[in-house]
Structure 1
Amino acid sequence: MKKGKKYVEAAKLVDKMTQYEVEDAVSLIKKTAVAKFDETIEAHIRLGVDGRHADQQVRGAVVLPHGTGKTVRVLVFAKGAKLDEAQAAGADFVGGEELIPKIQNEGWFDFDVVVATPDMMGVVGRLGRVLGPRGLMPNPKAGTVTMDVTKAIEDIKAGKVEYRLDKANIIHVAVGKASFSEEQLADNVNAIMDAIRKAKPASAKGQYFRSVTLASTMGPGVKLNTAKYA
């Protein structure tokens, strides 16, 4: 695939053989994010685990100190008093069974995160086939299946991000925007790395962080030195 002129120029700033300290990496990322829009900065974290085994799954959530820079729309499945609580806490959409056909049949997906109270998981479970592949299925480990809907909504709005392994044992997670300061980006990267380090499965053997690459939406990848997180 032919790379654009801007990408080629930006890539010249990055030494592919170097693993950069986090402060140097985010400084480079900001310099190489030259698109006309505010690019998202992502971390791609390859782990030395085998996600096919249940005891080596790595999944969880962390509130980034400076958020993601993105406005997140929250849908809450609840009933009774919890519906009112969710609305008061700032949920963008609240409801119950009546939302099933809207999502299933009409293809309504104007939300980024789904929260559900445990007593609604029977209803939400019917949406597994459409929510699951999009990574939208509520999960207790991520704090999105809970009776404390206020805390769940506040955390998500404050910049909580979920992380989970893909089939190649890589975690892809947004750590901010190109418009963030270097300090903000470094704080966010450190927060996600610390959270994933703490989530290391007891059965994981050998090197845990195999490789970590930071990249903006349109920019080249910058490798991170993971020694400090080991």
Structure 2
Amino acid sequence: MKRGKKYLAAVKEYDKAAQYAPAEAIENVLKMASAKFDETVEVHVRLGVDGRHADQQVRGAVVLPHGTGKTVRVLVFAKGDKAKEAEEAGADFVGAEDLVSKIQGEGWFDFDVVVATPDMMGVVGRLGRVLGPKGLMPNPKSGTVTMDVTRAISEIKAGKVEYRLDKTNIIHVPVGKVSFGKDKLVDNFRTLIGAIIKAKPSAAKGQYLRSISMSSTMGPGVKINPLRAEE
């Protein structure tokens, strides 16, 4: 891929091996974002835990103060009054067994987040094999299994993001768009890191934040010093 002069100049200015304070890292990421579209800025955090053990799992959700810049499509599994409440709260899709059939039979996935009332989890459970691998299965820890569907939908639409370990004990989370600018991205980053630190399992030993990097969609990764993550 051919890079512009601005990108090439910025790459020369930053040290690939250096670990920056969050604000400095974000400045570098923004300098090197040279795509013609509004790139997403993503954070990658490697933790000193072993996610294979239940007592060392790290999973949760947090509302970023400035959102993610992405329009999120919310699907809600609910019936009766709760289905009506979900529709009034702005859910993009609301249903029950009919949505299970649509997902299973048609391979339909035109949604980004799934919310369910607790009484619907027996129905939603049938989709575990298809929703689970995509990270779409509702979960009480992330606030997506709840009777308060209005709050769940409003938080998701406002910029709620879920964080969870992958198989290599790394968390990948978008914290906004390049167009947000430094200050808003710093705010979102601090909020995310604060939530991850708060979610530290009691079984975790040694250094919890092992490594942190940040990058835009088309840009290189910039390292953040884990000891300065809360600056």
Structure 1 length normalisation: TM-score?
0.96
Give 1:229 deviation, angstroms.
4.4
Tell me what 1:220 maps to.
220
Q: SS at the partner of 1:211?
A: strand
Give 1:34 deviation, angstroms.
0.4
**Retained in 1: the 8 A contact 2:78–2:94?**
yes
CA distance in 2, matches of 1:115, 1:9: 45
Can you list the C-alpha shifts for 1:180-212, whole angstroms capped at 9, x where unaligned? 121000000000000000000001001101100
**Retained in 2: the 8 A contact 1:60–1:142?**
yes
Tell me what 2:3 maps to.
5
Q: SS at the partner of 1:213?
A: strand
Identity among equivalent pairs (%): 70
CA distance in 1, matches of 2:167, 2:9: 33
**Retained in 2: the 8 A contact 1:64–1:159?**
yes
**1:57–1:72 CA distance, 2 compared to 1 (3 A):** same
CA distance in 2, matches of 1:109, 1:90: 18
Tell me what 1:182 maps to.
182
Q: Kindly provide the amino acid, as one letter, of the partner of residue 211 in structure 1.
A: S
**Retained in 2: the 8 A contact 1:75–1:113?**
yes
- What are the residue-to-residue correspondences of 1:126-141 with 2, within 5 Å? 126-141=126-141
How big is the alpha-carbon RMSD for the aligned residues of Structure 1 and Structure 2?
1.3
- What are the residue-to-residue correspondences of 1:76-225 with 2, within 5 Å? 76-225=76-225
CA distance in 2, matches of 1:12, 1:157: 38
**1:113–1:223 CA distance, 2 compared to 1 (3 A):** same
Q: SS at the partner of 2:45?
A: strand
Q: Kindly provide the amino acid, as one letter, of the partner of residue 14 in structure 2.
A: V
**Retained in 1: the 8 A contact 2:22–2:228?**
no
Q: SS at the partner of 1:179?
A: helix
Tell me what 1:43 maps to.
43
Q: Kindly provide the amino acid, as one letter, of the partner of residue 114 in structure 1.
A: V
Give 1:226 deviation, angstroms.
1.9
Q: SS at the partner of 1:133?
A: coil
CA distance in 2, matches of 1:44, 1:218: 15
Q: Kindly provide the amino acid, as one letter, of the partner of residue 141 in structure 1.
A: K
CA distance in 1, matches of 2:229, 2:31: 25
> Which consecutive segments of 4 or more residues in structure 1 shift more than 4 A?
6-10
- What are the residue-to-residue correspondences of 1:14-53 with 2, within 5 Å? 14-53=14-53
**Retained in 2: the 8 A contact 1:10–1:220?**
no
**Retained in 2: the 8 A contact 1:10–1:219?**
no
**Retained in 2: the 8 A contact 1:38–1:179?**
yes
Give 1:88 deviation, angstroms.
0.6
Query: Structure 2: any 5+ residue segments left out of the alignment?
Result: none
Tell me what 1:71 maps to.
71
Can you list the C-alpha shifts for 1:93-113, whole angstroms capped at 9, x where unaligned? 100011111101101111000
Give 1:9 deviation, angstroms.
4.9
Give 1:14 deviation, angstroms.
2.1
Give 1:13 deviation, angstroms.
2.9
Q: Kindly provide the amino acid, as one letter, of the partner of residue 5 in structure 1.
A: R
CA distance in 2, matches of 1:188, 1:47: 19
Q: SS at the partner of 2:70?
A: coil
CA distance in 2, matches of 1:49, 1:123: 33
Query: Structure 1: any 5+ residue segments left out of the alignment?
Result: none
Can you list the C-alpha shifts for 1:53-75, whole angstroms capped at 9, x where unaligned? 00000000000000000000000
**Retained in 2: the 8 A contact 1:197–1:229?**
no
Structure 2 length normalisation: TM-score?
0.96
Give the count of matched residue pairs.
Answer: 228
Q: SS at the partner of 1:151?
A: helix
**Retained in 2: the 8 A contact 1:78–1:95?**
yes
